[in-house]
Structure 1
Amino acid sequence: MGRRVLLSFLGLGDYEYCYYTYEGKTSTYTRFIQTAVYELFRNDEPMDVVVFATKEAQDRNGQDRKKGDKLLEGIGTAFSRIAPEANVKIVEIESGQDEQANWRLFDRIMDEIKEGDTIYFDITHSFRSIPFVALIVLNYARLVKKADIGAIIYGWFEVLGRPIDVEQMPEEQRVAPIVNLTSMAKLLDWTNGVDQFLRTGDASIIQALTAKENSEVFRNPSLSQAVKDEVKELRELTKRLDQTEKAIRTCRSLQIDEEVQKFHEQLGRVRSASAEAIKPLVPLLDVMEKKYAMFDDDPIMNSWKAVRWCLDHGLIQQALTMLEENAVTAVCRVLGLDLRNEKARGDVHSAIEILLRDIPKEEWRVRSVERVEQIIDFLSPYKGDLKRFSTLKERRNDINHAGARPQPLKAEKFWPDAEQSFRELGAFFERMSALAKSMQTVKGNG
């Protein structure tokens, strides 16, 4: 289990004494935000303290020193007085601010973070580019060291006025708040989630973040029921988004239309609300809608478009699988066959193969010769549209058998090959769609 550790910076300022407050609690009178954070955030649990300081900062604020007739505590003395049990480590950093210095600072901070640490990052006395570097370090440490952010903290001393004015202020008026900036750091998570969704269509991070926000909102007694209801609807939307993507990713071809429809319905409910409860999600609503805008009420063309979606998101194996199976499904829809019946689907597969390869009847190995003959008669006018089907079937077998076969296709050729199959079979899907619609019209008129 990792530590709880406070990471902070020591500057060159003549810090004035004050009290710091956070969530109704008040620190001991101190010059240093570090002692206040330690007191107010550790909650009687162990917390290590790492203070990064230049040589100049250590000389000025690391040790006790005189300022006129006043003795100013150094940070070591302050911790000894306020929290003698604290494990405090001073880490020297350089004062340079060029690119190489920033990389060395990055390394110094990373060296102080251990696997699984919960980090409390105080940026009160961070200088110039340090807050920016610190935020990058935090995000990086979360990925490579499985660290967690306990809080990002800023001691708002400036609310009291200029240091020269604070110096004249009575002790009881020197009360400065600590601002918790952690919520802004959550934007890093949302950024990762949005990036993943845009690149791959995978909404799992967005769904998990919304579920977390939902839990936090429902634990907050100060929020209204209206806000809670809004967050609940947003969570349901991201669940629907995640479910739709999973249906495509796992080739649930007969489920995709239903999932897309549920997603659009839920999106409509969210749009009717103010949609302000989870702010990072609000700009995503249009992006979400565009992801699935290609799908309409035509199940045959939707099954072809699902292949396009897979290709756009790098899902080559799924694209090949669904392109072959959805072509069979299109025939089943037009002929009124059970879409889930393995024997009926097997007959369609056999009919297509026999038609394209001109297999003599005496060599057929089929369940029902009569049924397959009927399907071949139906498909004969579309033989040209189906000519890519044999290559598609071969590619699907190649990828599903992990290339463990004679003369496997090179990995880099699968995507352009799949694109070609998608394009060339498009006309077949369009014809099946038109047939299904005309038959539906005749049936409706009858």
Structure 2
Amino acid sequence: MGRRVLLSFLGLSDYEYCYYTYGGVTSSYTRFIQTAVYELFRGDEPMDVVVFATKEARDRNGQDRKKGDKLLEGIDTAFRRIAPEANVKIVEIESGQDEQSNWRLFDRIMGEIEEGDTIYFDITHSFRSIPFVALIALNYARLVKQADIGAIVYGWFEVLGRPVDVEQMPAEQRVAPIVDLTSMARLLDWTNGVDQFLRTGDASIIQTLTAKENSAVFRNPSSTQTMRNEVKELNQLTKRLDQTEKVFRTCRSLQIDEEVQKFHEQLARVRSSSVEAIKPLVPLLDVMEKKYAMFDDDPIMNSWKAVRWCLDHGLIQQALTMLEENAVTAVCRVLGFDLRDEKIRGDVHSAIEILLRDIPKEKWRVRSVELVEQIIDFLSPYKGDLKPFSMLKERRNDINHAGARPQPLKAEKFWPDAEQSFRELGVFFERMSALAKTMQVAKENA
């Protein structure tokens, strides 16, 4: 199990004493936001404390020193007074801001983060490019060291006024809030999750984040029932998103229309949310919705578009499988066959192969000669449109047999061949769709 560690920065200012508050709790009277964050966030177990400081900042604020007739407490003394159990380490950093200095700062921060740490990051006295570099380091540590962010906080001392004015205030009026910025880091997580979804179709990060949000809200006693209901709806949305993605990855082609519809319905429920924590996600929800915007109420064209979805996400094997099977499904829809009847689907496959290869009747190996003849008669006008089916079937067999065949195709050939088959078979799907609609209109008018 990793540590709980506070990362902070120390500057050159003559910090004034004040109290800090967070969550209705007030810290000890202190010059240093670091001791306040430690007190207010430490929980049941002590935290390690790492304070990054330039040599000048350490000399000025690391130890006690006099300012006129006043003795200013150094950060070492402040921790010994307020939290003597804390393990405090001051790490020297450069004051430079050039590229090389920023990389060295990055290395220093990474060097203080251990595997599995939960990090509490205080940005109060970070300056210039330091917050940017530190946030990048934190995000990187989450990936390579499995670190987690406990909180990102800022001590809002400025709310009290100018330091010269604060100096004249009585102690009881010097109360400054600690602002929790952790939700902004979560927004970055959401952005990464949606980016992963857009590039790969994988919604796992999004689902993990919503599960955490759901759990946090239900654990918080101050959460209203409305908030709980709305966050629950968000959790349900990502479950729908994950289910829809699984349908594509496992080639459940006959479920695609249903799952996409369920996703849109759940998205509409989340859009009506008024919870502040969800509002920043609205633009990301728009992006997620666009991912399925291509699908409408035409099942035949949707089955062709599903292949486009697979190709766009690098799912070559799924694209080849669905393109072949969905072409068969389109024929079944037009002819009114049971879409899930394996024997009938086998007859359609056979009819297409016989038609394209001009196989004489005496060499047919089919279950029902009469049904296959009927299907061939129907498909004959579309023989040219079905020509890509032969290469498609060969590519699907090759990839499904894992290349364990004589003269297997090179890996780099599958995507362009799948893309070509997809484009060329588009005309066939369009004609089947138009024919199905015409037949439906005729049926309704009969």
The two structures have a TM-score, normalised by structure 1, of: 0.94
List per-residue Cα deviations over 1:403-429 (Å, max 9, x = no partner). 232222222222221111011111211
- Range 46-55 or range 362-371, more displaced: 362-371
Using the alignment, how far apart are the partners of 1:208 and 1:46 within structure 2?
Answer: 28
Q: 1:180 to 1:264 in 2, by over 3 A?
A: closer
- Which residue of the partner structure matches residue 69 of structure 1? 69
- Range 105-114 or range 327-336, more displaced: 327-336
> In structure 1, what residue type is equivalent to 2:203?
A
- Which residue of the partner structure matches residue 215 of structure 1? 215
Using the alignment, how far apart are the partners of 1:144 and 1:235 within structure 2?
Answer: 27
Q: For 1:218-229, what aligned pairs fall within 5 Å after superposition?
A: 218-229=218-229
Q: For 1:19-418, what aligned pairs fall within 5 Å after superposition?
A: 19-271=19-271, 278-418=278-418
Q: 1:44 to 1:264 in 2, by over 3 A?
A: closer
> In structure 1, what residue type is equivalent to 2:351?
A
- Range 341-350 or range 309-318, more displaced: 309-318
CA contact (8 A) 2:271 2:282 kept: no
Q: Tell me by how many angstroms 1:253 deviates.
A: 0.3
Q: How many residues align?
A: 446
List per-residue Cα deviations over 1:7-54 (Å, max 9, x = no partner). 111111111222222212222222111111111111131211111111
CA contact (8 A) 2:46 2:85 kept: no
- Range 169-178 or range 47-56, more displaced: 169-178
CA contact (8 A) 2:194 2:288 kept: no
SS of the counterpart of 1:150? strand
Structure 1 spans left out of the alignment, 5+ residues: none
CA contact (8 A) 2:120 2:149 kept: yes
Using the alignment, how far apart are the partners of 1:352 and 1:183 within structure 2?
Answer: 56
> In structure 2, what residue type is equivalent to 1:199?
R
List per-residue Cα deviations over 1:47-95 (Å, max 9, x = no partner). 1111111111111111121222222222112212222221111111111
> In structure 1, what residue type is equivalent to 2:169?
M
SS of the counterpart of 1:367? coil
Using the alignment, how far apart are the partners of 2:103 and 2:84 within structure 1?
Answer: 33
SS of the counterpart of 1:154? strand
Using the alignment, how far apart are the partners of 1:274 and 1:160 within structure 2?
Answer: 32
Paired-residue identity, %: 90
Using the alignment, how far apart are the partners of 2:365 and 2:397 within structure 1?
Answer: 20
SS of the counterpart of 1:255? helix
Q: 1:222 to 1:35 in 2, by over 3 A?
A: closer
Q: Tell me by how many angstroms 1:392 deviates.
A: 0.2
Q: Tell me by how many angstroms 1:223 deviates.
A: 4.6
SS of the counterpart of 2:176? strand
Using the alignment, how far apart are the partners of 1:378 and 1:139 within structure 2?
Answer: 59
Using the alignment, how far apart are the partners of 1:232 and 1:166 within structure 2?
Answer: 45
SS of the counterpart of 1:9? strand
RMSD of the TM alignment (CA)?
1.9
List per-residue Cα deviations over 1:181-235 (Å, max 9, x = no partner). 1111111111101212222333332333233323333444545444444333343
Q: Tell me by how many angstroms 1:352 deviates.
A: 1.2
List per-residue Cα deviations over 1:247-292 (Å, max 9, x = no partner). 1222110000111222233334445565765013211343333222
Q: 1:284 to 1:220 in 2, by over 3 A?
A: same
SS of the counterpart of 1:283? helix
> In structure 2, what residue type is equivalent to 1:284?
L
Q: 1:40 to 1:317 in 2, by over 3 A?
A: same
Q: Tell me by how many angstroms 1:399 deviates.
A: 1.7
> In structure 2, what residue type is equivalent to 1:415?
W
Q: 1:271 to 1:63 in 2, by over 3 A?
A: closer
CA contact (8 A) 1:139 1:188 kept: no
CA contact (8 A) 2:308 2:319 kept: yes
Q: Tell me by how many angstroms 1:146 deviates.
A: 0.6
Is 1:429 matched up with 2:429? yes
The two structures have a TM-score, normalised by structure 2, of: 0.94
List per-residue Cα deviations over 1:293-350 (Å, max 9, x = no partner). 2222221111111112222222221111100000111111122222111111111111
